[in-house]
Amino acid sequence: MREKLVIIGSGPAGYTAAVYAARAGLQPLIYAGENPGGLLTQTTTVENFPGFPDGVEGFDLVMGMQTQAEKFGARVDFDVVERLELTDGGVQKLFLASGTEVECDALIFATGASPRWLGLPSEDRLRNHGVSACATCDGAFFKDLPVVVAGGGDSAMEEALFLTRFASEVHVVHRRDELRASPIMAERAKNNPKIVFHWSCAVKEILGDKAVEAVDLEELKTGKTVRIPCRGFFAALGHLPNTALVKSLIELDPKGYVVLKNGTSATSLAGVFAAGDCADPRYRQAITAAGMGCRAAIDAERFLEGK
């Protein structure tokens, strides 16, 4: 199977690239990936996407993008890309879980990012049984119950503040005695009477047989263990770029994000472009991902024209 343009990823970056590429007559083929729609499908109302003064559900927003792309001739496939063989300016090859092999002249990589976990076995075992990385998805399950949030960045403050709408108390556990979060978010969290901070503490273990019952913390300065009874544990430790597929094929930065050339969407290989959270350690917003998708489609179109 030979395609002009393949897009890997179906969040706002992938679908915006698809809208632009489809309107340019490139009939892009999109591989939606293991989580079609990406992280937007896990949020509730998105209030900062311009054009929606009353907010829009994340799921509806991304589904609208898909419909818009398909209207102009983009095709969406739910097969999973397992391996890539990339060349500098030549044919790019995709190997799919179904055994199909696809070749294309240009590729847009828009695979997003995934939440970072602590890596504790108990975190894995109790995932979806009280352990979550998305307060907007799961917060409502913890009405009048105590919860723990791990992390000290803006995400952790946002998750903790959101959880105060439901939980009886929100314990924020941070490994240092200073937050990474912006002053405004930190202030809001510190002023909320439902939020209790546990400074310089590491999460040692999440306890519970079938569901979360407590979290054990180690006070890093004293070595003492403190047990917090709770029913929910939220990891808010930032995100990791989903770039395993292109590791050692294109240039990545030390944190694993795709390196883009000269403020464009070009990667270290001609004909391979990247957009969205997989190439953006800084902004990671739906609107910035969409903008990056637009740039990638325009760059890919010009590359194909030049060919």
**Which residues of the shown chain bind ligand NDP in the complex (CB under 6 A)?**
116, 118, 151-156, 158, 175-176, 180, 182, 237-239, 284
Q: What CA–CA distance (Å, rounded) separates 164 from 86?
A: 47
- Which amino acid, 80? V
Strand-pairing partners, residue 84, are 94
CB 49 → ligand NDP: shortest distance, Å?
14
Which of 135/300 has CB closer to ligand NDP? Answer: 135
Which of 155/243 has CB closer to ligand NDP? Answer: 155
Which of 155/265 has CB closer to ligand NDP? Answer: 155
Q: What CA–CA distance (Å, rounded) separates 156 from 160?
A: 6
Q: What CA–CA distance (Å, rounded) separates 62 from 266?
A: 24
Which of 57/218 has CB closer to ligand NDP? Answer: 218
Q: What CA–CA distance (Å, rounded) separates 181 from 170?
A: 17
Q: What CA–CA distance (Å, rounded) separates 14 from 195?
A: 37
Q: Which helix (H) or strand (E) holds 184?
A: helix 183-190
Catalytic residue among 138, 154, 277, 280: 138
Catalytic residue among 60, 77, 79, 137: 137
278 is catalytic: no
134 is catalytic: yes
77 is catalytic: no
Main-chain dihedrals φ then ψ at residue 204, nearest 5 degrees: -90, -40
Measured from each CB, the residue nearest to ligand NDP is 153
- Which amino acid, 160? A
Main-chain dihedrals φ then ψ at residue 196, nearest 5 degrees: -115, 130
CB 155 → ligand NDP: shortest distance, Å?
3
Main-chain dihedrals φ then ψ at residue 86, nearest 5 degrees: -110, 150
CB 217 → ligand NDP: shortest distance, Å?
11
Dig out the tokens for 276 from the structure.
Answer: 């969205």
Which of 73/115 has CB closer to ligand NDP? Answer: 115
* CB-CB neighbours of 177 under 10 Å: 12
CB 87 → ligand NDP: shortest distance, Å?
34
CB 4 → ligand NDP: shortest distance, Å?
34
Residues labelled catalytic: 134, 137-138
